[in-house]
């Protein structure tokens, strides 16, 4: 696991600049560093040593040194690919997984990408053709950003490294702010920094003579196979997941596992058979503290559990540092908890397994039950449902009315992912600035278009796999683990696991009784029934409670009345949200936290 940074070389002091870019992401790779510089490129690399500790440093070269590689990630099937490439005449200089990318690119070009099993973001410079080739993994586990500024094409694992380049212009992308207010993360290709883009998951790019070209090389295709029985699906899940976990344990250092009270991390920890599990929680309330469960489960599987209770003071004090590491504001309160569990694990191990991706792949979110729950109401003709919903929306928010409002909307209108913070009407009232940000439905439309004719649950999953997972779940997983020089691996997000899940019928994914139905039955083979059948909880954080306390209410109110807040927002509306929440009139905690997160992030990068 590493960090990469570089640029097409059009400056006189490239060595110094790429060195400063590398220093900005030293946390991603504190073990060693490397550079390659010629008159066309400057490539930097920071290494966290995991495989081939002695000879795996980068940049790496092919036999005649015409190709140069810097790579962030892990290739789990590198041994099979290495054997195939050696048979084809390629000569390897190291035992590292990284080198298969060089020889694989020589042998197969971009057709190498579908052969890979792993998480990756890499670039390869061709010294003869002067072309830069790069790619990002299937799901977007590893990040890769780029910008064309001045005469330079700049790329890297984290945007903060770009700030060191003399051609970089730091400017806020205000349209990203408006979209963020709805999604709680940055949902577009262009980031919060104007002119800086993320390479999308499952995409490759080439850059040559000032021209950038990007293309998708893989996609998810849900096509249910109705023939196998439930027992057969359970067997296939067990076998495929066990194989994935085994692949994800490949390392020359110790591997641990995160553990919450949920089935995903429990299933990973049980199958992985690692020695140590890691858990964090808040206070004594079981709603916010899963440590007691984790210790019991660790005893059940015969492993050591290492835990920590996060105090409110620690949580709030770490928040600015966390927004720095995030690069872009992310209003998911669990990101801070993830930072602390990564910090805890990094004191004992270099690699940790985690359960991200199971919900999106196997249908785990409670919202996926909504289409079944509303089936009876859908028997009412659509025009009548829409009319009832429109009337209900004229009244103040209430749980019963919200039912009518949501069921008066089509799927594409009511579901943009697992977070829906401010509606378009609300965000435009709240913002002082005019941004021209696209409507939420415009951003989700391409994914809904690709799943026309599929059932509602499948369409929701496909949307979440392409937006929510990469924009929220995997962003915080990468940035919080790397902030602590820890490699986080996600065995559910494996192309073989996905290929299996694509074929599981909807009735074995989501039922009226539970989510991840077939996967939970597979987990029963390794976990006790209480764990395997436990309903989705998430990573609970008591933000709504803290915002009613004088201390934290005061901190947020001060931010809402600041000059920065006045620049972007109607501050009277902000303080009204805060006061309504404190009085118990409405639960505005997610809206408050979304705005507060942006203000803290803005203070870090633009203050």
Residues tagged active-site: 2
DSSP reduced 3-state for 204: strand
The Cα–Cα gap between 336 and 322 comes to 7
CA distance 483 to 198: 19
Q: State whether residue 274 is helix, strand or coil.
A: coil
Nearest to 19 by CA among 45, 57, 52: 45
Largest CA-CA distance found in the chain, in angstroms, rounded: 72
CA distance 391 to 524: 46
Task: Judge whether 68 and 36 are in contact, CB under 8 Å.
Answer: yes
Cα–Cα distance measured from residue 429 to residue 445, given in angstroms and rounded to the nearest whole number: 24
Using alpha carbons, list the distances in angstroms from residue 72 to 2, 3, 118, 203, 371: 5, 6, 11, 15, 40
388/408 Cα distance (integer angstroms)? 7
Span between the terminal Cα atoms of the chain, in Å: 31
User: Is there a contact between 368 and 460 (Cβ–Cβ < 8 Å)?
Assistant: yes
Indicate if the alpha-carbon torsion angle 124, 125, 130, 136 is positive or negative: positive
In total, the chain counts a number of residues equal to 607
How far is residue 180's CA from residue 163's CA, in Å, rounded to a whole number?
Answer: 22
Decide: 584 and 592 in contact? Cβ < 8 Å: no
Q: Which helix (H) or strand (E) holds 341?
A: helix 334-346
Please tell me what DSSP assigns to residue 470.
Answer: I
Task: Tell me how crowded residue 434 is: count the other CB atoms within 10 A of its CB.
Answer: 10
Q: What is the dihedral of CA 277, 281, 286, 292, to 10 degrees?
A: 30
Least Cα distance to 165 among 146, 185, 180 occurs for: 146
């Amino acid at each position: 696991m590493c960090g990469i940074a570089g640029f097409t070389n059009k400056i006189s002091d490239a060595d110094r600049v790429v060195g400063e870019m590398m220093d900005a992401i030293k946390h991603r790779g504190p073990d060693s560093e490397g550079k390659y510089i010629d008159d066309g490129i400057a490539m930097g690399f920071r290494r966290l040593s995991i495989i081939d500790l002695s000879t795996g440093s980068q940049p790496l070269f092919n036999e005649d040194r015409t190709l140069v590689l810097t790579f962030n990630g892990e290739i789990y099937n590198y041994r099979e690919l290495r054997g195939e490439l050696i048979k084809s005449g390629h000569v390897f200089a190291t035992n590292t997984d990284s080198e298969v990318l060089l020889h694989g690119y020589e042998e197969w070009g971009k057709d190498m990408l579908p052969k890979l099993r792993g998480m990756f973001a890499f670039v390869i410079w061709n010294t003869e053709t002067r072309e830069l080739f790069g790619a990002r993994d299937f799901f977007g586990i590893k990040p890769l950003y780029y910008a064309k500024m001045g005469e330079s094409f700049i790329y890297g694992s984290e945007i903060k490294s770009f700030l060191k380049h003399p051609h970089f212009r730091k400017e806020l992308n205000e349209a990203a702010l408006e979209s963020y207010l709805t999604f709680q993360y940055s949902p577009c290709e262009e980031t919060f920094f104007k002119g800086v883009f993320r390479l999308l998951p499952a995409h490759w790019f080439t850059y040559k003579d000032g021209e950038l070209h990007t293309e998708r090389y893989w996609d998810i295709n849900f096509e249910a196979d109705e023939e196998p029985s439930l027992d057969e699906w359970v067997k296939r899940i067990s076998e495929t997941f066990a194989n994935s976990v085994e692949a994800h344990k490949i390392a020359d250092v110790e591997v641990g596992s995160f553990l919450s009270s949920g089935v995903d991390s429990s299933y990973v920890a049980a199958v992985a058979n690692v020695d140590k599990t890691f858990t964090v929680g808040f206070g004594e309330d079981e709603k916010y503290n899963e440590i007691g469960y984790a210790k019991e489960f660790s005893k059940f599987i015969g492993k050591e559990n290492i835990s920590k209770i996060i105090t409110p003071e620690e949580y709030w004090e770490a928040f600015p540092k966390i927004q720095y590491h995030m690069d872009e504001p992310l209003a998911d309160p669990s990101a801070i908890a993830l930072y602390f569990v990564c910090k805890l694990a990094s004191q004992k191990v270099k690699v940790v397994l985690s359960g991200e991706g199971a919900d999106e792949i196997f249908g785990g979110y409670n919202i996926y039950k909504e289409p079944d729950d509303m089936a009876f109401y859908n028997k009412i003709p659509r025009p009548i449902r829409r009319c009832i919903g429109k009337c209900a929306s004229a009244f103040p928010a209430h749980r019963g009315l919200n039912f009518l409002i949501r069921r008066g909307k089509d799927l594409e209108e009511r579901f943009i992912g697992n977070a829906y913070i401010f509606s378009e009407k609300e965000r435009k009232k709240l913002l002082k600035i005019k941004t021209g940000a696209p409507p939420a439905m415009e951003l989700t439309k391409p994914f809904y278009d690709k799943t026309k004719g599929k059932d509602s649950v499948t369409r929701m999953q496909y949307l979440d796999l392409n937006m929510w997972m990469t924009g929220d779940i995997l962003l915080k997983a990468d940035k919080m683990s790397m902030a602590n020089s820890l490699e986080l691996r996600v065995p559910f997000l494996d192309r073989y696991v996905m290929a299996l899940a694509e074929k599981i019928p909807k009735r074995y994914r989501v039922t009226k009784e539970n989510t991840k139905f077939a996967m939970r039955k597979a987990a029963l083979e390794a976990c006790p029934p209480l764990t395997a059948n436990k309903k989705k909880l998430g990573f609970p954080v008591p933000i709504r409670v803290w915002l009613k306390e004088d201390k934290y209410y005061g901190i947020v109110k001060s931010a809402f009345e600041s000059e920065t807040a006045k620049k972007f927002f109607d501050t009277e509306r902000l303080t009204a949200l805060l006061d309504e929440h404190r009085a118990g009139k409405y639960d505005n905690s997610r809206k408050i936290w979304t705005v507060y997160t942006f203000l803290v992030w803005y203070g870090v990068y633009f203050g």
